[in-house]
Chain A
Amino acid sequence: MSATEQIIHPAATVHPIDNLLRADRFPHILCPGCGIGTVIHGYAHAIAASGLSEDRHVCVSGIGCSGRAAGYVNVDSYHSTHGRALPFALGIAVHKPELNVTVISGDGDLTAIGGNHLIHAARRNVNLNVICINNFNYGMTGGQVGPTTPVGAKGSTAPRGAVEQPFNLPYLAKATGAAFVARWTVLHVREFQDAVLRAMNKNGFSFIEVLAPCPTSFGRANNIGDGLHEVEIYRERCVIENGAQNLEELDIDLIDASKPITVGNFVDIDRKPFIE
């Protein structure tokens, strides 16, 4: 069937969720097979499901591919400097507690240059929703090894494989005091949206790690052909374990195919929030 014959399925021009996104900027800048678009999409659905008006939502992002997220959502959004998305969002959340502030940023921005801000925002239990898009490397700058690159995975600065122990982000977030901790992949679209919604309704620091494919940088260095191939790895090896207690054992090993990748909503506790 050719496109000209597509009378029975006429070409649409507007997506139903376009009113929450800056659709005039689409198609976006991200590579084919990248998972960040799916995360932005899920965040938009969570805004729609939250019941709050768009004026009550704020999106803050840092620098990197994931930092582009703030430019594509049609709520008040800020594209802050590298690593400083969390202190910027903390200022908004403290000054206007009625707002629902979400930080969407990458693993390099949040845990490398912004690592100290992450642990201290979690320690203070500020009412923020942090969506950390983990693609296991510094994608925008050419695939350098970052603090989440699994041991043995290759990058442009580690052609023989990374040798450093990576961060286990759910364990880090739990240990520093986050009230809600989850890990999902871009394949778990509905679970991810539910987790974002729970984070929005939580009065406290919520941390959601999303594993996203990066075919251009991480995939090419590690013989992962395209985005679909990496998502297939998640599909084959992900194990859902909600409320898992052994977060210290949930390291991600992308090289050893026998090791499962545990996902789920791990922590949901009530702690004294920064602002009551």
Chain B
Amino acid sequence: MSEAESNVRREPMDLAKAQVPVGRVHIISERCKQCNFCINYCPTKVLEYSPETNAKGYHFPLVAAGKETSCVHCRFCDLICPELAIFTTEMTDEDKAEFGIDGS
């Protein structure tokens, strides 16, 4: 980084140490009513509609292909869900091993 560039770009001092949590999405598909809140407000756009429907005929959310490790466990989908049909947990070491994430 050149000196002129370093004057305008300021990085947080703990950026190297800061760890972004990795979340695991759990979906209770039979409760979903397809209101779209979780899919629309996910900050990392992890979710998409399922091609299948649940017993009431609604397309519930699914983790999009290739986004299995993108959840940052902000819990917004959980908190805004009117049906309590979705929640996230922070990945355990076993989860990380399953997804092939470096468990550090």
Residues of A bordering B, CB below 8 Å: 1-3, 6, 8-18, 21, 23, 26-28, 30-38, 41-42, 45, 186-187, 189-190, 193, 226-228, 231
Contacts and interface: CB of A to CB of B under 8 A. Distances in A.
Nearest to B32: A27
Nearest to B66: A1
Contacts of B29: 3, 11
Contact of A32 (B35, B52, B64, B68): B35
Given A1-B62, A27-B30, A186-B82, 11 more contacts: A9-B62, A13-B28, A21-B84, A26-B84, A27-B33, A28-B83, A32-B34, A37-B81, A42-B79, A226-B35, A228-B40
B22 to A, nearest CB: 13
19 contacts: A2-B52, A3-B52, A3-B62, A9-B26, A9-B27, A9-B63, A15-B84, A15-B87, A27-B85, A32-B33, A32-B35, A33-B33, A33-B35, A37-B82, A41-B81, A186-B82, A193-B79, A227-B36, A231-B37
Main secondary structure of the interface of A (DSSP, over half): loop
A16 B85 CA distance: 11
A16 to B, nearest CB: 6
Contact of A12 (B28, B35, B52): B28
A111 B64 CA distance: 44
A126 B31 CA distance: 37
Given A9-B24, A32-B34, A26 B52 contact: no
Contacts of A45: 79
A26 B27 contact: no
B79 A228 contact: no
Contacts of B24: 9
Which of under 10, 10 to 19, 20 to 34, or 35 or more describes the interface residues of B?
Answer: 35 or more
B68 A8 contact: yes
B98 interface: yes
A27 B83 contact: yes
Contacts of A23: 84
B84 to A, nearest CB: 5
A14 B37 CA distance: 20
B25 A27 contact: no
Contacts of B68: 8-9
A41 to B, nearest CB: 6
Contacts of A17: 84
Contacts of B62: 1, 3, 6, 9
A189 B79 contact: yes
B87 A8 contact: no
B65 A1 contact: yes
A3 B50 contact: yes
Contacts of B27: 9, 11-12
